[in-house]
Amino acid sequence: MAPKKANELQIRSDKSQFAGWKFAGVISIFFAFIGLYVHQRLHHVPDLPEFDPDFWFGPGIKPKSVDESIRDFKIDISADILDDWKARLELPSRLRKPLEDVGFEYGFNTDYLSKVRKHWLENYSWGKEQEKLNKYPQFKTQINGMDIHFQRIKPSDFGRTVTNDKPVLPLLLLHGWPGSFVEFQKAIPLLMDTSDSPFDLELIIPSLPGYGFSDPASKPGLGDTEVAIVMNNLMTRLKFDKYYLQGGDWGAAITNIMSTLYPDRILGAHVNMAAVASGRNFLNWGLAAILPKSWFMDPEQVFMMFPMGEKLKTLMLEFGYMHLQSTKPDTVGLPPLESEVNYSLDDMLTNVMVYWVTNSITTSMRLYSESMNIRNLGYAIDEIPCHVPYGAAVFPHEIFMHPETFLADKFKNIVSYQVMPRGGHFAAFEEPELLSDHVKKFIGLVEESRVSAEKKNS
pLDDT reported for residue 333: 41
% of the chain with per-residue pLDDT over 90: 59
Average pLDDT, stretch 355-362?
Answer: 96
Q: What pLDDT does residue 317 have?
A: 59
62-76, 81-95, 283-297, range with the lowest pLDDT: 283-297
Q: Which of 368, 379, 390, 417 is catalytic?
A: 368
Q: Quick one: pLDDT at residue 323?
A: 43
- The answer to whether residue 76 is catalytic is no
Q: What is the mean pLDDT of residues 142-152?
A: 99
Q: What is the mean pLDDT of residues 17-41?
A: 50
> Of these residues, 200, 215, 224, 249, which one is catalytic?
249
Prior bond of 389 cis (ω within 30°): no
Confidence bin at 331 (pLDDT 50/70/90): very low
- Of 149, 270, 402, 425, the active-site residue reads 425
- Look at 35-39, 259-263, 291-295, 385-389 and tell me which has the smallest mean pLDDT: 35-39
SS (H, E, C) the chain: CCHHHHHHHHHHHHHHHHHHHHHHHHHHHHHHHHHHHHHHHHHCCCCCCCCCCCCCCCCCCCCCCCCCCEEEECCCCCHHHHHHHHHHHCCCCCCCCCCCCCCCCCCCCHHHHHHHHHHHHHCCCHHHHHHHHCCCCEEEEEECCEEEEEEEECHHHHCCCCCCCCCEEEEEEECCCCCCHHHHCCHHHHHHCCCCCCCEEEEEEECCCCCCCCCCCCCCCCCHHHHHHHHHHHHHHCCCCCEEEEECCHHHHHHHHHHHHCCCCEEEEEECCCCCCCHHHHHHHHHHCCCCHHHCCCHHHHHHCCCHHHHHHHHHHHCHHHHHHHHCCCCCCCCHHHHHHHCCCHHHHHHHHHHHHHCCHHHHHHHHHHHCCHHHHCCCHHHCCECCCEEEEECCECCCCCCHHHHCCCECCEEEEEECCCCECCHHHHCHHHHHHHHHHHHHHHHHHHHHHHHHHC
More confident: 106 or 247: 247
pLDDT for 316 equals 61
**Mean pLDDT for all residues in the chain:** 85
pTM: 0.84
Q: The domain 70-457 is classified under which CATH number: 3.90.1150.10, 3.40.50.1820, 3.40.1390.40, 3.50.50.60?
A: 3.40.50.1820
| Residue 41 pLDDT level (bands cut at 50, 70, 90) | low
The pLDDT of 27-36, averaged and rounded, is 49
What is the structure's pLDDT at 105? 61
pLDDT number for residue 330 = 43
pLDDT at 375: 92
Active site residue 249: yes
Between 94 and 326, name the one with better pLDDT. Answer: 94
- Check pLDDT > 60 for residue 32: no
Mean pLDDT highest for which of 158-167, 336-345, 353-362? Answer: 353-362
According to the model, what pLDDT value does residue 230 have? 99
- Looking at the chain, the whole-number percentage of residues with pLDDT higher than 70 is 81
What pLDDT was estimated at residue 95?
Answer: 73
Residue 342 has what pLDDT?
33
Catalytic residue list contains 438: no
Mean pLDDT of 374-403: 93
Region 78-94: what's the mean pLDDT? 90
Q: Residue 3: which pLDDT band, with cuts at 50, 70 and 90?
A: low
Report the range of poorest mean pLDDT among 273-277, 336-340, 368-372, 406-410: 336-340
More confident residue, 301 or 327: 301
